[in-house]
Every structure is written in C-alpha cells, then in structure tokens.
Structure 1
Amino acid sequence: MPQEQGPLICPGHSRPVAGIEFSRETEDGVFLISACHDKTAMIRSGETGDWIGTLEGHKGAVWGAALNPPATHAVTCSADFSAKVWDALTGDELYTLQHKHVVRCAGWAPDSTRFVTGGKEKHLRLFELGEAAPADPLLLQGHTACVKVCHFIGDRQTLLSAGEDKTMRLWDLRTGSTQREIEFSGSVNSVELTADGRIMTVAAGTEVSFWDLTSWQCLKRFSLGVIAANGYGVNSASLHPNRKAFVAGGGNFWVYQHDFETGEELACNKGHHGPVYGVRFTPDGKAYASAGDDGTIRFWNFAPPEDGAAADATAAAAAPES
C-alpha cells in the first residue's frame, strides 16, 4: 500500500484541547474554533488550519467555544464560572456573564439573536443578545448532572441539551418546558448536527448513534468499545457530509474512520499523545480535524477507501508500530 500522508499539525495551545467546532461556510470561508485548558480559545482557518486569533481573558480552563452562524461572534465557556461573548472579527471581549459553577458548553440560535450556556449548574441559561449586555437569562431546569452539550434545533425556539445524567432533553423555549427525553447508556459527550439539520450524531458512553431529527428515531447505533479501552468512552464523533462514513475518537489516543452503513472500521489514524476529545469533518468533507489531551489540533485528509480496501486498512492499523 502507498505511504499515507501524515496530518497537518496545528500547534499553539499549551494544555489539553477540550473541543473543536467548524463554522458554517461563510462569505469569508470556513473557520475552526478550539477551546483549551490553557484559558484560551483560538480561531483558525477551516481550510488551512492557519492561526487567525486567540481569545484571551478567562482565568480558568476554557471547556467550550462556539461561533455564531456567520462567524462574527463567539461564546467561550470556562471553569472560572463565566461565559464570555466576543467579537470574532476583532477579538474584542464584549461581555462577561457570571455563572455559579463551571460552564461547559454554549450554542447559538440560527439568527444569532440568542445563545444558551450549560455546565455544572445542571441547568441551562438562555441569553438574548442585543445592544446591551445580556441580563436575566431564562433558566431551563431538569438535568440532574453536568450539561455538556447544547444546540438549537431548526429555529430559535427549539433547543436540545445533554450531559452526564445520560439524558438528552428537547426544549420548547416558548414555554421553557421539555418536549422529549431520550436516555443513553452513558454520559453524552458530543452531539453534532448535519448542515441540513436532519441527522444528529451522538457520542455517548461507548456508543455512536445516529438519529433522524424529524421522527426522532434512532437510525443506527454502533458500539465502539475499542476506543474506550481505558475507560474514557467515546468522546466525540462526526458524520461525513455524504453520510457514507463517520469518524470517532476517545480514550485510546487514536482516531477511527468507520463505514456509516455497517460500522466497519475503515482506517485508524495514530499520532495524538493522549485521549482525543474532539473530532469534526470540514463542511466540504475533504478532511477532518481532531484535538485532545496533547494540546494539538490535527487535520487529516479524508479519502474513502476503494471497495475492498477496508479490510486492508484495518489490518494495517492493527499492525504494531515500528
């Protein structure tokens, strides 16, 4: 087999990278935002990985970061019991929003007029973004443990959240009530939505599952226990835009490619020197990024193996390193 090209390594962070997210395609391109325990978030080109800017100001680890749809604003979430709103074009800090415990995640409404935060408070805070600093957020209560994921679904009135209580909740923001609850076998560590908002990819416990967001039926579920060999679970998963493959990463330092239809392992990428906390495909599907405990972000080219090549790729990945 030909020698595979190694990943593009993006240094810059000095502590574990807790998560990564690509922006949507914008007039200025695609951007990648990373959250890191070195108290910063970084914005990079989503095409080249080139550094664009660093958001500095938190006094504790940054656990989550999210760009709004046009990538003009960002929210960062920190162990210093605060979330910060930033001008993503200039890097200026706009607002600091105090919480009562560690903030782990944030999500923007499609129209960028509101955003939500979640974390160890066990509930969600919904902020309206206007000319003045957001105040008096709506509290959404129901979770019994740390909230690790929050996303708007479809419009500005529907929200999902999930976390360490192994439960996903769907909220109607007009009433502040829960519309639906889904139970998982382990902590929900990552949720990704397809660009068209039709499919949800969930990494929970040792499983990756895929859900139809119209019927809320589970389409596929795969156990990836090999990733969780040392107890970290599957930390993150991402579905390719053509829905033929997905990637996943977790506690055993490697990043895996799988066939979407069968769950068969297609390839295994080695290189990280610690657990992998985030994996995401680029919007065009030509590459994916991974990040983790070693403080690096790595861009991997994605080329689906030809028919019959999956077994060869799996065998090569299982071979001991020289």
Structure 2
Amino acid sequence: MDKKRVAVPLVCHGHSRPVVDLCYSPVTPDGFFLISASKDSSPMLRNGETGDWIGTFEGHKGAVWSCCLDTNALRAASGSADFTAKIWDALTGDELHSFEHKHIVRACAFSEDTHLLLTGGVEKILRIYDLNRPDAPPREVDKSPGSVRTVAWLHSDQTILSSCTDTGGVRLWDVRTGNIVRTLETKSPVTSAEVSQDGRYITTADGFTVKFWDANHFGLVKSYNMPCTVESASLEPKYGFKFISGGEDMWIRVFDFHTGEEIACNKGHHGPVHCVRFSPGGESYASGSEDGTVRIWQTGPATWDGSETITANGVIGKAKVTAEEVSRKLEDFHITDEAKTGYEAELFFSV
C-alpha cells in the first residue's frame, strides 16, 4: 500500500501567546521576509524561506492584532490593543512612528507605493496616514458599519477594502471620495481578506466558507464550503491552482482552486489556526496558531516512508523530493534551534 505523503513543517518558536496575523514581503534583492503578530505584544521578523529569526519589534504594551511589511521590506507596521499603530525600521528594529488611536487597532496595511498606511479597528474608522508627513493628521473615513477586522489596498491604491468583526460582507471604498462603491455580500463576518498578487482575485474566509471574487468586476467566482469554521485562507500566488485554509480544527488544508477538492490535510498545530499565507513565490506557506507557533510548509510535501526522521529544526536522514522542490532549494530547510535563543531580548536585531 502506498504511504500517504506527509508534509513536515518548519516550526518557528518564539512567541509566548497566540499568533494572530502573518504577512510576507514581496521578493527583494535580499530574499523575502515573514512578519508575525501575536497577543504577546511583540511582532517578530523572520527569513521567509528558512524561518530563521531576525528580530523582535519591542514597544507595544498590548496584544498585537495585525502586522505588515512594505514592498521593499524596509519598514514594518503593527496594530495593537494598546490603541496604537506603529511603524518600524525593519533593518534595525527601531520604532519610527507611533500613531495614537482612541481604541484597539485590529488591522493595518501599507499602500502599494509604500507612502500610506491604512488602519482600522474598534472605532469603526478607517484612517489613512501619509508616511511622508507622519506628523500630519490622518485622513479619516468613518462610515464603517462595524468594528473593522481586516483592511487591504487594491487597484494601485485607488480602492481599499475592509471587513467587520460583527457584520458580514466586504466593503470596497473609493479612496478619492471615501464612499463605499460595492459590498461583497457574505452571511458571516469575514475574518480574512486577501488580494491576489496579480490583482485578479479577492480571497475571503467567512464562517464555513472560502470565497473568491473578481477584484475588478466584483462578481463571485468560486465559493467552497469547508469542513470546519475557517479563520483564514490564501490563494497560491504564482499559478492560482490551489488554495489553503486554516481554522478551528487545527489543520491546514490544501484545495484545488478549480474543483474545491481537498489535496492535502497537514496536521501539527496544537490549537486553532488563526492565519495562513502563501509565500510570494508560492513555494511554501505559513500558518500561525493559538499554540503560539508559526509553521512553514513546503508546497510540494516530502514523501515519508516511515524509516526516515525529519525534525522541524533541521533535516535528519533523507527526504524524497521532487525536481521542482530541488530547483527551489527547499529540500534542506533549516532554522535556528529556538531553544538556544531565549536571550532574544539581549540580541535584539543583532544582524
């Protein structure tokens, strides 16, 4: 009998509380990077390919609900329960700006041109900060029908989208007028909204459903029912042939985009999965969980025959991989033994 293929993830420790948001940078001359937000108040930056810890951004005094990197991975942003959104230097870890809000900040996003930061939260107000004039008052859009859960930019920064924690649907706003131009209707609140890398699709997760919308004409393209309540979904960015979802059952499921057929079910987390995201090239994807870990999974899982042992912090023995995986240099993932990095605070951004 053929052995079922098992994906063995890289396990990235370091957070002491649940991981609630993840964001990959685009590919830069130095590679690509992954930032994670956690209720432990300290966003962490990692090498997106290897999972190696780079540094921890220290300064928030409450749970961090959202995080993002700009196009060049030179700056990071985070939104927190301490009523602030902060901008960080991603090279040094220094805090560059702190934007005060009147309530919890649940979402943040850099504009494509990196000049603007969009925030939203419990205040039901979308704020747009001009990062070239950080001391200037932000532009405010205050017509959100509920507490803002997610935000994103599309159409070359001409449109923004948002979803609410207590109301279904995704609202699309014209940046010039500040008006809602379209609402993508869903039965349940949308907990995850992602604009595809090529700008063609909006991927949403609401309740038991993952939906794909045409990002230009706003029609519903695909809708698939999931085996459990899902919190997050992400579309493979290069070819768009598959998507991933994570939720209450602690598993990361991989599906065929065209048919909705489940391709793989990856087990490993010890708590509900709050966020999943594909890397910018689609060669791997990351998941963040209530268990406080970030896991990075290969797109093409290695074949395990029972006699080989593969650990999350390195490869022991041998793993059979496809030619594509070899070409992507994914057969020998390695991350630092996190048990030896308990002194992260002392080595803050030692690079």
Deviation sequence 1:121-173 (CA, Å, 0-9, x none): 1121111111x534311111222222111111122332111122112111112
Q: Residue in 2 aligned with 1:308?
A: none
After TM superposition, give the deviation of residue 57 of structure 1 in Å. 0.4
Q: Residue in 1 aligned with 2:138?
A: 137
Q: Residue in 2 aligned with 1:123?
A: 125
The reply on whether 1:202 has 2:198 as its aligned counterpart is no
Question: Identity, % of aligned pairs?
Answer: 47
After TM superposition, give the deviation of residue 4 of structure 1 in Å. 2.5
Deviation sequence 1:232-278 (CA, Å, 0-9, x none): xx110011121111110001111111111111111111111111001
Q: Residue in 1 aligned with 2:251?
A: 254
Q: Residue in 2 aligned with 1:311?
A: none
Alignment match of 1:290 (pick from 287, 292, 304): 287
For residues 284 and 175 of structure 1, the distance between their equivalents in structure 2, rounded to whole angstroms, comes to 35
Contact 2:184 2:218 (C-alpha < 8 Å) held by counterparts:
no
Q: How many residues align?
A: 299
Q: Residue in 2 aligned with 1:227?
A: 228
For residues 134 and 172 of structure 1, the distance between their equivalents in structure 2, rounded to whole angstroms, comes to 24
CA 1:138–1:253 in structure 2 vs 1: closer, same or farther (change >3 Å)?
same
Larger RCO: 1 or 2 (CA < 8 Å, sep 6+):
2
For 1:158, give the aligned amino acid. Answer: T
For residues 296 and 25 of structure 2, the distance between their equivalents in structure 1, rounded to whole angstroms, comes to 15
For residues 12 and 304 of structure 1, the distance between their equivalents in structure 2, rounded to whole angstroms, comes to 25
For residues 257 and 35 of structure 2, the distance between their equivalents in structure 1, rounded to whole angstroms, comes to 26
Report the TM-score when normalising by structure 2: 0.82
After TM superposition, give the deviation of residue 189 of structure 1 in Å. 0.6
For residues 159 and 204 of structure 1, the distance between their equivalents in structure 2, rounded to whole angstroms, comes to 19
CA 1:304–1:53 in structure 2 vs 1: closer, same or farther (change >3 Å)?
closer
Alignment match of 1:95 (pick from 94, 97, 102): 97
Alignment match of 2:276 (pick from 235, 259, 279): 279
For residues 297 and 139 of structure 1, the distance between their equivalents in structure 2, rounded to whole angstroms, comes to 34
CA 1:153–1:275 in structure 2 vs 1: closer, same or farther (change >3 Å)?
same
For residues 205 and 141 of structure 1, the distance between their equivalents in structure 2, rounded to whole angstroms, comes to 26
Q: Residue in 1 aligned with 2:20?
A: 18
1:148-167 residue pairs with structure 2 within 5 A?
148-164=149-165, 165-167=167-169
Contact 1:254 1:269 (C-alpha < 8 Å) held by counterparts:
yes
1:41-190 residue pairs with structure 2 within 5 A?
41-130=43-132, 132-164=133-165, 165-190=167-192
Report the TM-score when normalising by structure 1: 0.89
Contact 1:77 1:84 (C-alpha < 8 Å) held by counterparts:
yes
After TM superposition, give the deviation of residue 193 of structure 1 in Å. 1.5
For 1:81, give the aligned amino acid. Answer: F
**Counterpart secondary structure, 2:57:** strand
CA 1:146–1:27 in structure 2 vs 1: closer, same or farther (change >3 Å)?
same
Alignment match of 1:300 (pick from 271, 289, 297): 297
1:1-12 residue pairs with structure 2 within 5 A?
1-2=2-3, 4-12=6-14
After TM superposition, give the deviation of residue 15 of structure 1 in Å. 0.4
Contact 1:127 1:134 (C-alpha < 8 Å) held by counterparts:
no
Q: Residue in 1 aligned with 2:337?
A: none
Contact 2:8 2:301 (C-alpha < 8 Å) held by counterparts:
no
After TM superposition, give the deviation of residue 304 of structure 1 in Å. 7.8
For residues 200 and 12 of structure 1, the distance between their equivalents in structure 2, rounded to whole angstroms, comes to 31
Contact 1:106 1:118 (C-alpha < 8 Å) held by counterparts:
yes
For residues 157 and 298 of structure 2, the distance between their equivalents in structure 1, rounded to whole angstroms, comes to 34
**Counterpart secondary structure, 1:220:** strand
1:261-272 residue pairs with structure 2 within 5 A?
261-272=258-269
After TM superposition, give the deviation of residue 5 of structure 1 in Å. 4.6
The reply on whether 1:238 has 2:239 as its aligned counterpart is no
Which runs of no fewer than 5 residues in structure 2 stay unpaired? 303-351
For 2:148, give the aligned amino acid. Answer: V
Which runs of no fewer than 5 residues in structure 1 stay unpaired? 229-233, 306-322
For residues 7 and 233 of structure 2, the distance between their equivalents in structure 1, rounded to whole angstroms, comes to 22
CA 1:190–1:134 in structure 2 vs 1: closer, same or farther (change >3 Å)?
farther
Q: CA RMSD in A?
A: 1.6
